Amino acid sequence: MAEVIVVRHGQAAFGTDDYDRLTEVGWEQARLLGEHFADAEQRFDAVFIGTMRRHRETLAGIRDALAQSSIVTPQATELLGLNEYDFHSLVGAYIALNGDLLDGGKINLADSQSFYRMLRVALMAWSRNELKNIAEPWAEFERRVRGTIEDLSGVKGRVLVVTSGGPISAMLREVLALDVETMVNTNLQAKNTGVTRYFTRGMNFSLNMFNAVPHLESSGHRHLITYT
């Protein structure tokens, strides 16, 4: 039996030239999560992350807070299957096919709410293989996430995984046999540093908790609950 704790990265820098980095809020979220793990005396037997900067920085924030309690985390193993899909390219491909549907250019994709509304329909189009010139087809995305589940299935003890909302929701789809629309809706409600936990025995993953932010739920930290 193993315990797999899957963490979405801290708040990334939406609307800047480099989304793939944590904001000050993102660093604080990661630090508070590390303190939460330390308070619970949670030690990890293995750590896995994607190759993205926001994954590494989130782990660094968690690790630094754990170290303050003399809890040492193992060296992280990088898995490509934990990387996010290229959502900017997906939205661009959807607009290329459906630009006439964008309300005469009135939709402002620099606004996070407008962007994520557009991303929702782009993801559904992606899942139906409607988008052109996409580097990663939907089936390949699902295949690499399925491979990640296989990688995690062989690990014992308590495992920490730092990744993004897309792989988290795709893992949930595999475990709970969700339809694509439910997966997409789940993806777009993922909180930054939200915690999802599974108990596993081989390839048998049992969901115990989804998208929880106990480290941010006190009155002094609720303003740090974000989704980007």
The tokens 């989304």 sit on which residue?
A: 19
What are the backbone dihedrals phi and psi of residue 13, each rounded to the nearest 5 degrees, phi first? -90, 65
Name residue 200's beta-bridge partners.
2, 205
pLDDT averaged per 10 residues in sequence order, the chain, 228 residues: 96 86 97 97 96 98 95 95 94 83 59 85 96 94 96 95 98 97 96 98 95 94 94
Residue 108, amino acid? N
pLDDT of residue 24: 97
| pLDDT tens, residue by residue, 181-224 | 999 999 999 999 999 999 999 999 999 999 999 999 988 999 99
CATH 3.40.50.2000 fits 2-84+136-224, yes or no: no
Taking the C-alpha atoms of residue 64 and residue 79, their distance in angstroms, rounded to an integer, is: 22
DSSP strand pairing (204-212 vs 157-163): unpaired
Distance of CA 206 to the CA centre of its chain: 19
Q: Which helix (H) or strand (E) holds 210?
A: strand 204-212
Predicted confidence at residue 23, as pLDDT, reads 97
Give exposure, 206-222, as e/b (b: 16+ Cβ within 10 Å).
Answer: eeeebbebebbeeeeee
pTM: 0.94
Laid out side by side, the sheet with 157-163 consists of 76-78, 46-49, 157-163, 2-8, 195-201, 204-212
Q: Domain map of the chain by residue range?
A: 2-84+136-224, 86-135
SS3 63: helix
